[in-house]
Amino acid sequence: MIRRLSCAILFTLVATSTQAATLVYNVTGYTMNEGERVQFAALEFEDGVITRLYSNDLEARASKAEERIDGNGAILLPGLIDAHGHVTALGRGLSAVNLVGSTSAADAAARVRAFLADNGNQEWVRGHGWNQVLWPGKQFPHRSSLDALAGKQAVALTRIDGHAMWVNSTALKLADIGPETPDPDGGQIIRDDTGRATGVLIDNAMNLVKAVMPPITDEDMANFALTAMQALASQGITSVHDAGITAQEVRAYQALRRENRMPIRVYAMLKMVDPAIDQYLQQGPLIDEQHMLDIRSVKISADGALGSRGAALFEDYSDMPGQRGLLLVNDEQLDRYMDRSMAAGYQVNVHAIGDKANARVLDFLEQMIARHDNRHLRHRNEHSQIVRLEDISRFAEIGVVASIQPTHATSDKNMAGDRVGEARLAGAYAWRKLLDSGARLAGGSDFPVESINPFYGIHAAVTRQDHQNQPPGGWLPGERLLRNEALSLFTEWAAWAAHQETVIGRLLPGYAADFILVSDDMFTMPAEDLWRNQVLGTWVAGRKVH
Ligand SMILES: [Zn+2]
């Protein structure tokens, strides 16, 4: 049954080029519409905007569209929205050697060799993710295994934790590190028996090499963003909320937008601690007529992460007495950051993981929303991870969006229990409680910390299990979401959190033709397989981007 949207204001999207009317047929189409699931058999769009849905094939046959796309029986869904990710970090990772999971120094070197075969012209080869503890012998690697691969090129590979760097002789030479070079304060140059550097630099000694690496240019940054956006498009993501960008990233996005090279949409949060923030606050929100690049929010970080015990808790960590984490901003800063951002008309999105950080962010948002009378800006709590039970209902009361990342729950499940203990888990990753309290949710992944695959998020939200179906029945299974809700989370609700719910996130006449074709029906397939759904094609504003 097709239910027409009656109350929403339908935006007219101004297309840059006229496009013939196109019919996508032979599909099973789904969209969420204000929490209700709508099914259809074909979709028609023109100039990037949906003009009609057909409820059955017979009706679709009467379509006068000149262009036709045969869906071959695939499932058609709205383009998925990732409400929290780090785009250029993803692109940087994809533009460097991935050493995560390497099984030996030789295996790591082989990955560098394979990378060089495709990227032989890079002056500096970067990589990340090695961990000698997982290698036979657990010894630090040596420059000689890299010297054998790259002659003129400098190679710099950071350890998984970012606290050590493995470099080749060219990099040591460029950094002028010789036997006489002293260890810098807070750093160590690992040396052999003769005093020569072995090629492993610890902590501040890495700065000697970093200082001679070429800085990232605006063009590099644009390439990182583009590489990441293409990867996201390939996984069915048509819009991403970039959770904290600097002026250089703003410039990179604006250049790509000007050149009409953005494959997917970006809704960006400006990093509050970026030195250039004042310029943007003065200028005010940047809202794109076609919503390819909207910059109208600010990102503030209130605390750290749970894994490193940096998340701010009211009571001690259960697995480390005396430790309660750290607030990254004091009251005066939080007040000033929020006040200035809101005065400039920006949405304020605050990272909060620990129960203390969450309570404090809610306190401040409550005061500030009252001060500026701007609940309509839809301020957000990014992560909303460990929340005291008494704070759950405050999201809806104050009008703060809970921006959540379902895969964090399934990745963190064992660690989170260790860190906060049974009692505090009652309000941990508590999506059902938040939803039932009337809170608005938005779904994301926090890539590159987690996979960019949005079906991993949908699977985690529905099952609260990992890909091995653990734990049986799901982790804190009372917090599971229904499949309808999981789709809303990554479509219309994420769009709402970006003020775009009348433009994207639903497939209805007047909405942008942002849609994907996928292999499996997420409403009928076994829940444990939801993460296996494959993306067959991705369209943004009627343009095929993957
Ligand atoms: Zn993040």
Reported as a single tens digit per residue, the pLDDT across 209-250 is 999 999 999 999 999 999 999 999 999 999 999 999 999 999
DSSP state of 506: S
How far does the centroid of ligand 1 lie from the alpha carbon of residue 451, in Å?
13
Ligand 1 centroid to Cα of residue 424, in Å, is 22
What is the spatial distance between Cα 127 and Cα 102, in angstroms, rounded to a whole number? Answer: 12
pLDDT band at 402 (very low <50, low <70, confident <90, very high): very high
**Distance from C-alpha of 244 to C-alpha of 86, rounded to nearest angstrom:** 7
| Confidence grade of residue 152 (pLDDT, cut at 50, 70, 90) | confident
- Expressed in angstroms and rounded, the spacing between residue 319 Cα and the centre of ligand 1 is 24
Quote the ligand 1 centre to 447 CA distance (angstroms): 7
**359 CA → ligand 1 middle, Å:** 19
Asked if residue 343 has pLDDT above 80, the reply is: yes
| Ligand 1: centre distance to CA 456 (Å) | 17
Residues with CB under 5 A from ligand 1 (ion): 243, 446
Q: How far is the CA of 446 from the centre of ligand 1 (A)?
A: 5
241 alpha carbon – ligand 1 mean position (Å): 10
d(CA 544, CA 79): 12
Note the pLDDT of residue 119.
80
What is the distance in A from the centroid of ligand 1 to the CA of 262?
22
Q: Give yes or no for residue 9 having a pLDDT over 80.
A: no
Measured between alpha carbons, how far is 154 from 160 in angstroms, rounded to an integer? 20
Other Cβ atoms within 10 Å of 5 Cβ, number:
16
351 CA to centre of ligand 1 in angstroms = 8
DSSP 8-state class, residue 507: -
- Ligand 1 centroid to 377 CA: how many Å? 21
pLDDT of residue 162: 84
- The phi, psi pair for 286, rounded to 5°, reads -110, 105
pLDDT over 70 (residue 5): no
Q: Measured in angstroms, how far is the CA atom of residue 431 from the centroid of ligand 1?
A: 18
- From the CA of 329, how far away is ligand 1's center (Å)? 17
Phi (first) and psi of residue 227, to 5 degrees: -55, -45
Give the whole-angstrom CA distance, residue 289 versus residue 295.
12
